Structure formats: C-alpha cells, structure tokens
Amino acid sequence: MTPDEITAVSMDPDFAGRQDSFARAKKWVQELQGQGNPNMVLALAGNKCDMVEKRKVTPEEAQAYAQDNGLFFMETSAKTAINVNDIFYEIAKRLPRMQPMQNPSGMMLTDRPTEATTSRCCT
C-alpha cells in the first residue's frame, strides 16, 4: 500500500446554520464512495455543537446517517475546540498502517518499544 492509496476525509457541515450544509455533505460522501478506494476513512464532523439552540440537524440524525454509510460521526466546535483534536486522532487511528517499502530511499524510522531503564548520554 502506498500513501496515495490512502485517503482520509473529514466533512464538517454547519449543523447549526443551514440544513443544506448537511445535504451537501451527503453529496460529497456519495462522490467519495464512488471512487471505490477501500482504504478511505470518512469522518462526519457535526460542527458548531456549541450552538445547540440553533441546531438544524440533530446528533441522532447525523449518527444514523454516518452508521448507514460507513462513516464515523463526532460533534465538534471550532469556536470552543470541542472534539477538534479528537476527530483527527480518530481518523489517524482508523488509517491502515502502511507496510515498509521495499528499497526505501533515505532514512527509515520505525516504532521501538520503550526501554524500562534510563540511560544517560555522557556517563
């Protein structure tokens, strides 16, 4: 698997402003799913969750749509930073891990287990 075979998309319709924002997000989902990339991670971010009184799309409606279409849903607020980092962390967790390339050029970094002992540089 190469980096260009992996796609992550976060759609953040304005759930507090306009109902047509959610309709546009649904259209984007159809277009993206039409590409047929099995490694695509799609996230639906219900933006402006801090504006509950102006909400046009309920969390239940968004969650049901996400489940029916293979996305994950999370309410967010760019204004108050609610779940902003969390949605990107969740996307990263769901991305498939890439296998090391055969004959890579440059330096190859790999995960190493942390050592239980501490070492000092100049002792």
Q: pLDDT band for 63, please (50, 70, 90 cuts).
A: very high
More confident residue, 23 or 100: 23
User: Collapsing DSSP states into helix, strand and coil, what is residue 11?
Assistant: strand
pLDDT reading at 92 higher than 60: yes
Would 44 be classed as within a structural domain? yes
Give the CATH number for residue 38.
Answer: 3.40.50.300
User: For the whole model, what pTM was predicted?
Assistant: 0.65
Q: pLDDT band for 42, please (50, 70, 90 cuts).
A: confident
Would 39 be classed as within a structural domain? yes
Domain count, the chain: 1
Using CA atoms, how far residue 8 sits from 4, 41, 43, 44, in Å, is 11, 5, 8, 11
Would 7 be classed as within a structural domain? yes
The stretch 85-107 carries a mean pLDDT of 76
Domain span holding position 49? 3-94
